[in-house]
Copies of this chain bind each other. A is one copy, B any other.
Amino acid sequence: MTLPSVDFSALACPVPTEDDRITLAHGAGAGASARLFADLLHPHFANSALDVGHDGAVLDAQPGRLALTSDTFVVNPLEFPGGDIGSLAVHGTLNDLAMCGARPLALTCALVLEEGLLIATLERVVTSMGAAARSAGVPIVTGDTKVVERGKGDGIFVNTTGLGAVAAGIDLRPQRVAPGDLVIVSGSLAEHGIAVLSVRDGLGFECDVRSDSAPLHDLVAQMLDAVPEVHCLRDPTRGGLGALLFEIAGRAHAEITLDEEALPVAPAVRAACELLGLDPLFLASEGRCVAFVPEAHAARLIGALRAHPLGRGAVIIGRVAVGPSRVAVRTRLGGKRLLALPAGEPLPRIC
């Protein structure tokens, strides 16, 4: 039987705008929520799974193992040179999947909006998010929107959770890192951290650094095709390369020695770090990965990295050896010092 087609949106109450800002009614689950989704979110995310409009998405089965990863993004400010919280939330979670060796299948998007947020700001972020997901070829299949009162949030927080498929034979884990591995980074460090700080309220400074935020799944697929022997991949986000190496040294029960001279840091980033008294070793990148690979395969891996636009700056920066779980830095003058882990970043909310 064919029923008359009725436009459901006409049934809903008009969205209360209050100067085109988000109101608590947008989070209440009834008319205004439905309109916010239909008018603002859905057009940017539309895909067959999301269009069903159920409480969750149902996806086709996948051969092989699955990877699941989740991150909430609270970056401040919401927009920065080279990206915004929307593109960052897509790239960050795609990259965590990539670090598991997974091909991305689907993303979720859960927003916490602060009452009073300009709808135009939300629309820019959602547009950027949709574009980043489409450009990566990964659908945003389900999500959620909550609104909290003014002063109980900060504009927009975005959680993205990613589901991916891990091909047979791929086993990337910190525990596989072993003495004899070389440490390779795909490009220059700390650009995301400096780009965000350069536009932060009360800190803003002139500099030409743009965030390196980018999706790494395609680069990683190319790396693993060429060198399935990679032991572990990690992206140096919050806490930077330094925190990452500390964690790997701990889980692998080995000593990692970094070659200070080899660390790729752009001159503008180095200058900004000196200005702010920050160490680029502990600042975030959002489009770089660090690979741990047996020395015998390192040259091949460098070749695979440099053949991809996002890996052109790949270099060997260190080596894993038998020793206590710690990180040492070989200085330019040939000395060796132990790296100390800071108790906390002086400037939070980088991602």
Contact = CB atoms under 8 A, between A and B. Distances in A.
A243 B144 contact: no
A29 B4 CA distance: 55
Contacts of A254: 3
Nearest to A69: B56
A54 B173 contact: yes
A26 B239 CA distance: 11
Interface in A95-141: 95-97, 99-100, 102, 106, 108-112, 141
Contacts of A66: 58-62, 66, 163
Nearest to A52: B173
A56 B175 contact: no
A320 to B, nearest CB: 11
Contacts of A243: 29-30
A334 interface: no
Contacts of A164: 56
Given A61-B63, A66-B163, A322-B1, A341 B31 contact: yes
Contact of A6 (B99, B144, B174, B324): B324
Nearest to A282: B30
B325 A74 contact: no
A172 B253 CA distance: 49
A103 to B, nearest CB: 13
Given A1-B322, A11-B250, A30-B344, A144 B58 contact: no
A322 B6 CA distance: 12
Contacts of A166: 58
Interface in A214-255: 234-235, 237-240, 242-243, 246-247, 250-251, 253-254
A260 interface: no
B344 A159 contact: no
Contact of A11 (B23, B108, B240, B341): B341
A251 B238 CA distance: 42
B253 A27 contact: no
Interface stretch (A149-157, A183-191, A261-269, A299-307): A149-157
A8 B56 contact: no
B100 A13 contact: no
A55 interface: yes
B247 A99 contact: no
A20 B56 CA distance: 38
A33 interface: yes
A145 to B, nearest CB: 8
B326 A11 contact: yes
A41 interface: no
Contact of A343 (B32, B108, B157, B342): B32
A95 B28 CA distance: 19
B110 A68 contact: no
Contacts of A330: none
16 contacts: A3-B322, A13-B341, A27-B348, A28-B239, A29-B238, A54-B99, A55-B95, A58-B166, A59-B67, A61-B65, A62-B66, A66-B163, A68-B163, A108-B161, A112-B157, A159-B161
Smallest CB-CB A-B distances: 9 pairs: A25-B344, A56-B69, A8-B250, A29-B239, A29-B238, A70-B108, A161-B161, A28-B345, A28-B344
